[in-house]
């Protein structure tokens, strides 16, 4: 067994249980409640996103900040494509959180938090129902469903297949991750069915029926909580922790025993609402969410017209 990694790796449709049919994960992803999740392609990078308003998408900051310098004003996006089914759109503007009072906000490092980006689209997705965002700060211990277009494979072999197929799978929010600057995120691990080889690092060691872990290409995709008869977007895929080197695995990415790092949407609700005022008027935050956006986030954005990227996920 390896020691727990101190840092997560970015770019984390995902890895499935060895004893489950991949068709079940693909069918799960294509249920109507997850129609808001699409793929994000720059030509050299492949990720995922969730539609939260007809003309706005939510993804990970590291998906759009392809040089990882924390500055999105030097990026170009004219060749970027956001796709849901047969429909495609182009981004016209990117906005990432910027902190105040000494907090750096998004700085290019997913292990510093703030790995979130709003993407304004050239045209709305008129036939897709956007996902409502989760605002109640009550994620701990709840079942959560991750949806994306990343690599796949099995828990004992790691992420070995190509990105591009939509999958969904379940886990349980085991703990909160607190960064040095005070930002928080969600975490859970990939539990192995008996007989276990991998250790259990957090929460229950018993896997869910469609237990699952995000993998490269899932970055920016969505994690959903079902509450009050509604599927809410509670997390944005940020990365994975290599907590265990599974014996004989072809890939050391997203095996049993590894963990997920998920940007916590509730913590950024004011950032989202301040940029999409119409979305705020339709939301009714629970009392626990009011005043809980701890960082007084400001915004930075830029309209861009040309694309030239070399970073790859």
Report pLDDT for 35.
98
Q: Please check whether residue 134 is in contact with residue 114, taking contact to mean a CB–CB distance below 8 angstroms.
A: no
Higher pLDDT, 238 or 296: 238
Report the pLDDT averaged over residues 70-89: 93
Closest CA to 268 of 302, 287, 295: 295
Determine the pLDDT at residue 182: 81
Mean pLDDT of 50-70: 95
Mean pLDDT within 228-245: 96
pLDDT in tens, 276-295: 999 987 664 453 333 333 33
Cα–Cα distance, 236 to 250 (Å, whole number): 27
Query: How far apart (Å, rounded) are the C-alpha atoms in residues 96 and 236?
Result: 13
pLDDT of residue 65: 92
What is residue 6's predicted lDDT score, i.e. its pLDDT? 55
Q: Could you write out the DSSP letters of every residue in 61-109?
A: HHHH-TT-SS-GGG---TT-EEEETTEEE-EEEEEEEE--TT-----S-
Cα-based distances in Å from 29 to 11, 43, 154, 168: 19, 24, 17, 4
The torsion defined by the Cα of 240, 243, 245 and 251, in degrees rounded to 10, comes to 0
pLDDT digits (tens, 9 = 90+) for 134-149: 999 999 999 999 999 9
Please give the mean pLDDT across all residues of the chain.
87
Residues of the chain above pLDDT 90, percent: 75
Is the distance from CB of 299 to CB of 95 less than 8 angstroms? yes
pLDDT band at 180 (very low <50, low <70, confident <90, very high): confident
Among 15, 58, 30, smallest CA distance to 166 is for: 30
The pLDDT of residue 232 is: 98
pTM for the structure as a whole:
0.88
With bands split at pLDDT 50, 70 and 90, how would you rate the model's confidence at 296? very low
Q: Which of 70-74, 92-96, 211-215, 309-313 has the lowest mean pLDDT?
A: 309-313
Residues 42 and 157: their CA atoms lie apart, in Å, by 28
**Which residue would you say has higher pLDDT here, 243 or 310?**
243
What phi and psi, each to the nearest 5 degrees, are found at residue 222?
-115, 145
Average pLDDT value for residue range 227-241: 97
Q: Confidence class of residue 98 from pLDDT cuts 50, 70 and 90?
A: confident
Enumerate domains of the chain plus CATH numbers. Answer: 9-32+132-266 (2.40.10.10), 37-130+268-303 (2.40.10.10)
SS3 236: strand
Task: Say what the pLDDT of residue 307 is.
Answer: 27
Torsion, CA 286, CA 291, CA 296, CA 301, rounded to 10 = 20
**Cα(103)–Cα(24) distance, integer angstroms:** 43
Q: Which residues on neighbouring strands pair with residue 66, listed in sequence order?
A: none
Q: Does residue 154 surpass a pLDDT of 60? A: yes
- Bridge-partner residues for 175, per DSSP? 187
> In DSSP terms, which residues pair with 186 in a beta bridge?
176, 262
């Amino acid at each position: 067994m390896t020691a727990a990694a101190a840092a997560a790796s970015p770019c984390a449709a995902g890895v499935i249980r060895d004893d489950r049919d991949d068709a079940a994960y693909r069918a799960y992803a294509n249920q109507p409640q997850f129609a808001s999740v699409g793929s994000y392609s720059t030509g050299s990078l492949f990720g995922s996103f969730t539609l939260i308003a007809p003309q706005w998408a939510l993804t990970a900051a590291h998906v759009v900040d392809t040089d990882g310098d924390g500055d999105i004003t030097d990026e170009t996006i004219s060749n970027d494509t956001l796709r849901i089914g047969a429909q495609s759109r182009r981004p016209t503007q990117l906005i990432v959180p910027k902190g105040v009072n000494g907090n750096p906000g998004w700085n290019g490092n997913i292990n510093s938090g703030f790995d979130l980006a709003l993407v304004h689209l050239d045209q709305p997705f008129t036939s897709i129902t956007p996902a409502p965002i989760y605002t109640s700060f009550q994620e701990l211990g709840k079942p959560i469903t991750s949806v994306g277009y990343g690599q796949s494979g099995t828990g004992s072999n790691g992420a070995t297949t190509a990105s591009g197929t939509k999958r969904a799978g379940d886990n349980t929010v085991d703990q909160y991750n607190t960064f040095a600057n005070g930002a928080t995120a969600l975490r859970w691990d990939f539990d192995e069915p008996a007989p276990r080889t991998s250790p259990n690092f957090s929460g229950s060691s018993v896997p869910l029926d469609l237990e699952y872990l995000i993998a490269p290409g899932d970055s920016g995709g969505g994690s959903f909580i079902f509450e009050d008869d509604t599927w809410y977007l509670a997390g944005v895929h940020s990365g994975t922790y290599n907590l265990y080197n599974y014996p004989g695995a072809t890939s050391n990415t997203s095996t049993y025993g590894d963990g997920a790092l998920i940007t916590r949407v509730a913590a950024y609700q004011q950032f989202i609402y301040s940029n999409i005022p119409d979305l705020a008027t339709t939301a009714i935050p629970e009392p626990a969410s009011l005043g809980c956006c701890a960082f007084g986030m400001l915004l930075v954005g830029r309209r861009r017209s040309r694309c030239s990227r070399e970073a790859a996920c």
